[in-house]
Structure 1
Amino acid sequence: MSDNSQKKLFLLDAYALIFRSYYAFIKNPRITSKGLNTSAIFGFLLTLEEVLQKKKPSHIAVVFDTPAPTFRHEMFREYKANRDETPEDIKKAVPYIKSLIEAYNIPVIDCPGYEADDVIGTLAKKASEKGFTTYMMTPDKDFAQLVTDNTFMFKPSRSGNESVQWGVEDIKREFSVQRPEQVIDILALMGDSSDNIPGAPGVGPKTAMKLIAEYGSVEELFRNTGKLKGKLKEIIENNREQIELSKKLATIVLDVPVEFNEKKLETEIPDSQKLKALFDELEFRTAGTRILIEIEKQEKPKEKEPGILPAESIQGSLFAETSEIAATSTRSSINDVSHNYMLISGEEELGEIINQSVKLKEFCFDTETTSIDPLNSEIVALALSWQKGAGYLIHFPDSREETEKLLQIIRPLLENPGILKIGQNIKFDIQVLANYGIEVRGPFFDTMIAHYLLEPDMRHNMNLLSETYLSYTPVHIESLIGDKGKNQKSMRSVPADQLKEYAVEDADVTYQLKNIFEPRLKAEGLSDLASGIEMPLIRVLADMERNGVILDREELKLITGSLRDDIIALEKEIYSLAGTEFNISSPKQLGDILFVNLKLDDNARVTRTRQFNTSEEILQRLKHKHPIIEKVLEYRGLKKLLSTYVETLPQLVDKKTGRIHTSFNQAVASTGRLSSNNPNLQNIPIREERGREIRKAFIPEEGHIFFSVDYSQIELRLMAHLSRDRGMISDFLSGNDIHAATASKIFRIEIKDVTREMRSRAKTANFGIIYGISSFGLSERLTIGRKEAKELIDGYFTSYPGVKAY
């Protein structure tokens, strides 16, 4: 490659990306039918695809740490000693990831005695000398010290945000330094809790940046300690050796004995046969298929066909909750695809269209409204489509009376139970039309729900589905009404001709997606689930959301007063136990009280901002050491009840109906459960007495009652049946409470001695373990240590060996 401007090298920090991938899916891990947790593998694959498809590097390598101790361990025996053991699921994933990298024909580089940071730094330096632009792909801030005019940090995308590229100016701004290499001095002062680099006690990022901004380096700081004052002067002077050691530990070395072979680093076409075998074993069906299609296109370039294409894009960007990566050059848009979208004018023309359409077997519709609140929004337009590339828009006037006249003409089509109604999040459209007395009748086909059944771990918004499955980029709503915020325009302000292109395109794309998803549902044996349960449920949820629930505000007022009195009483108790008044809600002040004044833990952990960690998990472990801990936990619980529920719920009551209206989500939880938001009514506390009091504020309409129906531990009964575990089957047949029975086995006590807390833990274990929860995940849910969580899981499998075998 003769043109140096094209020499673009990507160096991937393997373990940093692997751990990041694993924890990105920690709440909803990807588990194969054989029980293998593929979260780390899948996440790494998507990250790799993000680089290859979006950044198109000319050269690439993946750099691993080795198990061998490094020179830093020789300098400081406690280096990284505080790190938890690598999760077993990651250990199992690494060989697959290395096989994946091999199948992509990408070199793996490591060097015993050195960390991946050092290898990447050395390679980046050598690449720079050879005219490369180098991108160090890692979320690790330590790499900031290596950034130069042609060496960049590349932080992968996360939580829907774009990936971030840091150059020299970015580092200077982010760390308040004159040169990137001064980041080393900042790390020397503030330390790094993740690597157990001590730094200067009590010096956090702000102080470290301020000192280096003023003195330039720790060496210059040592020469000017006379200018410092008070405790800071004492800290710097008394910890000189520790700071100097920390600087050595934080410095990435650039002379690792690794070869820089330009030829071997060249990006090559992946081995599709090896990848297919891996994708099959790992059950990466959809993403795998699309990646293999892209590889085939590289092997046999084809001219792009006009129109909206079948699925030929790649799904993949990690931490956008697995959004797609499709080469933008392969996508079409409304500007280069032939289409016939028509604006209907007048009642007569509308009547003719509806008279023709009532003979249809199916059609797609989409509403455009004044807001995203279905209960209070007004309809602006209705789009219809039942043929690829064609459709109609009915644009409604501002007058509600005139709008209702037009809707009466459309009513026979929408309320015809013999025609399949297609939509994307059709529940919203059903509720909007209900505002005008239109009862949209099924059967329904919702492309969002269909895709959820096919790919529960993916995102399901229409633009993403269109780009992924149709290689087509729809018009974005922001181009019509602007970005979200106070200056965003109303749909009523959009000219009808402009709105027609946007709205009918939505209906057209959704109609085409239906024709892709319907046969896939059938092929994967999901048609009955879709048509028999999920699609009919849409109507039920729409009705539930519109009905809402009555809130007894007077009851909540009583609870508010009682909670505030208890909080004030707890504050006084905590101040008495601490020996001083302080802001209990301040993690920093609380940490100082617990670990400096009361000295409850000599090895107390600090956060990245050098504050003591006062998370619930930490406090739960210290409950036995001092009565103040119990009071602080109780205080936090009451404050949360007050702010999250008691004071907030009355503000969410709809002024028009006098009720609270939540939204039920069918396509969020990958386990198939419904979730709730705006507000989350499934999260009203019940375990504590105070939480149960809040639930009493939700009351039925006069003359009605609340009636609760639930399957009795259905998942566990299925597990008992499928695993044939004798112990679990016996527990069910005995008539004992299954969670109490599990607790008695795990904790090795009589069932009569099982406490409420033990049963609660056993219940969490029961429902978590059968879905493949890790010790980390269980520790997070139960706010216990990972060791205790692992012991709980081990005890569970000892009690139910058949479940483990299954």
Structure 2
Amino acid sequence: MSFPGPLLLVLDGNSLVHRAYHAGIGDRLYDDRERPVWALRGLVGYVARAAAHLRPDAVLVGFDCPESSARKLEWEGYKAHRPEKPADLTEQLAGAPALLRAAGLCTVVVPSWEADDVLASSAAAARRAGWRSVLMTSDRDAFALIDETTQVLRVRNGGFDEAVLVDADGLHGVCGVEAGQYRDFAALRGDPSDNLQGVRGFGAATAARLLAAFGSLDAAWAALDRGDRRTVGDVVGEPAADRLAAPGVREIVERNRNLMRMRADLPLPELDDARLPLNYLTMRKALRERGINLGPSLWALVGNVPPPRDEDQTPELRPWVFRRSLSSRRDPTPGQLSLF
């Protein structure tokens, strides 16, 4: 990223707690009051390792509002199929914002909105202030936010070592679309994890071909409206063109686009309120009260120098490697998708 401004690291707290929960469920760590802490420990580890890699000037963590959802009010089927979360996951999700605030991390929960909206609003605020931003999440929806000042650090199965840092060039390389086309791309495909049906026959390759040829869904529909179905069929095949023109399809896709649109105007703390370094003693005290001891791995958050290798208890930080496909075997299985 060549843009020269300060760097804001923004993390999707819900998605990363889910990742950490499943990654650490085999160990099932508890504090001295028998409260589960393994997902909380993993979340703080994600923050610490990302800070060590990126050396941000400020860090902000966003969470979904647990009480209400504007998207569910808009469409009652939104995420309606998801099974009830395990009690120990729910407990750690509920406690994560308070723990991070006690540790000194700038933490945002906005009534009725989701962590995705906090990411979008933070990226917009950073851009207005002349900052860069990196958005850390396991959710591909954030790809729609990529631009010349914004990258996405996507965490996949395998943890931080399997994360990929995606910019505009990388997104086109793995999805075949520009960031500005990503919401149309996702709306066509649908999102099973959010209970959003797509258009039958429009997988990633077909959706990308359509958008590469027409630029947007609206332009493809305009071609259909003027009777130019042959041009659309030449790009995606006659069966897919027929499905795109079928009654009710536009309403389904428009619903998806509306629900996938992220708010970029939520009220947020000032960027200076999220600046590093944090107070080491405050952070250590808050974490130790929950039985979390990370020691030297917190160095990038508290303004210390990197510890000597023989004192660093975290795994070696590997360079990011771009994959040719985002649908590798390490991505969530269909059963896991319901949790994200």
Give 1:212's aligned residue.
211
Q: Which amino acid aligns with 1:233?
A: A
Structure having the higher Rg = 1
Q: Does the CA-based 8 Å contact 1:47-1:156 persist in structure 2? A: no
1: CA distance, partners of 2:12 / 2:317: 21
CA distance in 1, matches of 2:269, 2:302: 30
- Partner in structure 1 of residue 104 of structure 2: 105
CA–CA distance in structure 2, aligned partners of residues 297 and 144 of structure 1? 30
In the TM superposition, residue 95 of structure 1 has moved relative to its aligned partner by: 4.7
SS at match of 1:275: helix
- Tell me by how many angstroms 1:116 deviates: 1.6
Q: Number of aligned pairs?
A: 311
1:115 pairs with 2:123: no
Q: Any idea what the Cα deviations from partners look like across 1:59-96, whole Å, max 9, x if unmatched?
A: 11111110243332233210111112222112221354
Alignment counterpart, residue 243 of structure 1, candidates 247, 253, 263: 253
Quick one: which amino acid aligns to residue 275 of structure 1?
R
CA distance in 1, matches of 2:134, 2:64: 18
> Which digits, 9 at most, give the CA deviation of each residue in 1:143-171, with x for residues without a partner?
11110111110124735735321111111
Asked if 2 retains the 8 angstrom alpha-carbon contact of 1:134 and 1:151, the reply is yes
**Aligned counterparts of 1:297 and 1:151: Cα–Cα separation in 2:** 24
Partner of 2:321: none
Instruction: Compute the displacement of 1:185 (Å).
Output: 0.7
Q: Is the 8 A contact 1:272 1:295 kept in 2?
A: no
1:11 counterpart residue number: 10
* C-alpha RMSD of matched pairs (Å): 3.3
Amino acid in the other structure paired with 1:236: L
Name the counterpart of 2:270. Answer: 261
Deviations 1:298-354 (A, max 9, x none): 57x89x9xxxx69532x34xxxxxx2569xxxxxxxxxxxxxxxxxxxxxxxxxxxx
Distance across 2 between alignment mates of 1:166 and 1:279: 34
- Cα 1:108–1:281 change in 2 (3 A) is closer
The separation in 1 between residues aligned to 2:84 and 2:174, in whole angstroms, is: 32
CA offsets 1:391-420 (integer angstroms, 9 cap, x no match): xxxxxxxxxxxxxxxxxxxxxxxxxxxxxx
Cα distance in 2 between the residues matched to 1:73 and 1:65: 13
CA distance in 1 between counterparts of 2:302 and 2:18 reads 32
Q: CA offset at residue 12 of structure 1?
A: 0.6
Structure possessing the higher relative contact order (Cα contacts under 8 Å, 6 or more residues apart): 2
Contact 1:123/1:260 (CA < 8 Å) preserved in 2? no
- Equivalent of 1:279, from 264, 278, 288? 288
The alignment status of 1:234 with 2:242, answered yes or no, reads yes
C-alpha separation between the residues in 2 aligned to 1:276 and 1:97? 15
Following the alignment from structure 1 to structure 2, what is the Cα–Cα distance between the partners of residues 167 and 44?
Answer: 23
Change (3 A) 1:209 1:64: same
Q: Are the aligned partners of 2:5 and 2:130 in contact in 1 as well (CA < 8 Å)?
A: no
TM-score by length of structure 1 reads: 0.36
After TM superposition, the structure 1 = structure 2 runs for residues 103-182 of structure 1, keeping only pairs within 5 Å, are 103-156=102-155, 158=158, 161=161, 163-177=163-177, 179-182=178-181
1:85 lines up with 2:84 in the alignment: yes
Q: Give 5+ residue unaligned stretches, structure 2.
A: 319-326
Matches of 2:94 and 2:317 in 1, distance apart? 25
SS of the aligned residue for 1:253 comes to coil
1:699-710 alignment, distance < 5 Å:
none
* Cα 1:237/1:263, change in 2 over 3 Å: same
The answer (yes or no) to whether the contact 1:11–1:134 under 8 Å persists in 2 is yes
Q: 1:186 to 1:196 in 2, by over 3 A?
A: same
Within 5 Å, give how 1:342-741 maps onto structure 2: none
In 2, distance between residues paired with 1:270 and 1:194? 38
Cα gap change, 1:103/1:236 in structure 2, threshold over 3 Å: closer, same or farther? same
Cα distance, 1:222–1:21 mapped onto 2, change above 3 Å = same
Normalising to structure 2: TM-score of the pair?
A: 0.80
- 1:63 alignment counterpart: 62
1:23, distance to aligned residue in structure 2 (A): 0.9
